Amino acid sequence: MDIAKLVATEQFILSCPDDLAVHLKQSSYNSSEDMCDAASLFLHARGRKLAKTKKTNTKDGKHTCR
């Protein structure tokens, strides 16, 4: 794994919830895509998501997600 991928992987793990970060560090993945898939499955199994959306009101009163 080159240094850029290693840094990106570490940044991803640091941005994860603690229980997911421990799970990812304890496992071995062939690619960052495999790690992301594993993270998604881990959270899905627990009824959680990695990212949250924020609803905001627009000028016309409609809701949007960011």
Taking the alpha carbons at both ends of the chain, their separation in whole angstroms is 33
Cβ atoms of 42 and 48 closer than 8 Å: no
Q: Residue 45's pLDDT is what?
A: 96
Q: Residue 50's pLDDT is what?
A: 75
Q: β-strand 55-57 against 63-65: which pairing, if any?
A: antiparallel
pLDDT tens string, the chain, 66 residues long: the values are 689 988 999 999 999 999 999 999 999 898 889 999 999 999 999 999 877 655 555 566 554 444
Cβ atoms of 21 and 12 closer than 8 Å: no
